[in-house]
Structure 1
Amino acid sequence: MKSGRARRLLSVASLGIAGALAGCANQAADEALLAQTALVGMSKETLLSCAGVPQRQATVGNQEFFTYRSSRIVSYPSPPPLGYYDTWGWPGYGWGWPGYGYGWPAYGYEVNSYDCEATFSLKNGVVERVVYGGTSGGSARLGQCYAIVQNCMALVPQQTIRPSP
């Protein structure tokens, strides 16, 4: 009996965690993934007008490669270590001047760097493929890639979902 109840509680907890993680989805990353197919077929002129001048450009035969970069650095206060300490290492509460007593946080800043490199392959003046790269991983990189393609995505007609008859 206890094991059945424990399984139900575990199932409910799992659903709650899954729901919480789904709520944290990165909309910019989703849009960047969509851009990899939505921008195929875009003309070179339109690409240059919405994405701007590429950082690098190469031509091989009738194929061109335009590479764009986007990066940002984000910093925010890191949480204090367990407990709260003044400048002498004693637990401190209240306010004070740095180095002169209680109240100044003994912690620093967490710094994150996000970057993306998007390379557009064009054949005969039309986008054939969009490839993302960079040192950031996962949705962090894709979210940064959206900064490159967002103006172009605004030019792509939105597909409407038609109800089935």
Structure 2
Amino acid sequence: MSGRALAVAALAAAGALAGCANPAADEALVAQTALVGMPKATLLSCAGVPERQASVDNREFFTYRSSRLVSYPSPPPVGYYGGWGWPYYGYGAGWPSYGYEVNSFDCEATFSLRNGVVERVVYGGATGGSARLGQCYAIVQNCMALVPQRMIKPNP
């Protein structure tokens, strides 16, 4: 492969990866370190009342959950349907015969607090990868607005 063709291929690959970036997922990752040290009262004021909470010795665990459903039309079937006259997709008077696809995104964020201060933030949920992290941002978004910008360090 020539040098020019290799450079074009590398640029195309970089463009494809940049198109898949999820800023909300990136912010959720930053939040895992930026929210450490936040007082309990501040956490409750920005994240709200947790869905579940537990206490063990001098540790507290607050668990928040966020989920959403996204639906979009599925692709139409291949081919044309119909009888006399103009062909159209589906059947009947132009109504499509295809349905909808539904995706579910969910996140569960657990804040560990020791002596009334956030010590750790852990994400979980059935959805994986950046889709889950993007949904996790919905939980920490209001709290991130309270963190001074100089304290937010980008992940390497």
The one-character-per-residue Cα deviations of 1:59-107 (angstroms, maximum 9, x if unpaired) are: 0000000000000000011222333445x8xx9338xxx8534x32221
Distance 2:92 2:97 in 1: 13
Distance 1:17 1:129 in 2: 35
- 1:143 is aligned, of 134, 139, 144, to 134
1:92 aligns with 2:87: yes
AA aligned to 2:45 is S
Match for residue 44 of structure 1?
40
1:74 aligns with 2:70: yes
Query: Structure 2 matches for 1:84-123, cutoff 5 A?
Result: 84-86=80-82, 92-93=87-88, 99-101=91-93, 103-123=94-114
1:10 to partner: Cα distance: 4.4
Please identify the structure whose Cα radius of gyration is greater.
1
Give 5+ residue unaligned stretches, structure 1.
none
AA aligned to 1:14 is A
1:16 to partner: Cα distance: 1.3
1:21 to partner: Cα distance: 2.2
Match for residue 54 of structure 1?
50
- What TM-score do you get using the length of structure 2 for normalisation? 0.86
Distance 1:84 1:138 in 2: 38
Give 5+ residue unaligned stretches, structure 2.
none
The one-character-per-residue Cα deviations of 1:105-149 (angstroms, maximum 9, x if unpaired) are: 221111000000000000000000000000000000000000000
Alignment check: 8 A CA contact 1:118 1:145 kept = yes
Closer, same or farther: CA 111–84 of 1 in aligned 2, 3 Å: farther
Identity %, equivalent residues: 77
Match of 1:159, SS state, is helix
Distance 1:72 1:63 in 2: 30
1:128 aligns with 2:119: yes
- What TM-score do you get using the length of structure 1 for normalisation? 0.82
Match for residue 26 of structure 2?
30
AA aligned to 2:116 is G
Match for residue 17 of structure 2?
21
Match of 2:149, SS state, is coil
Aligned residues: 150
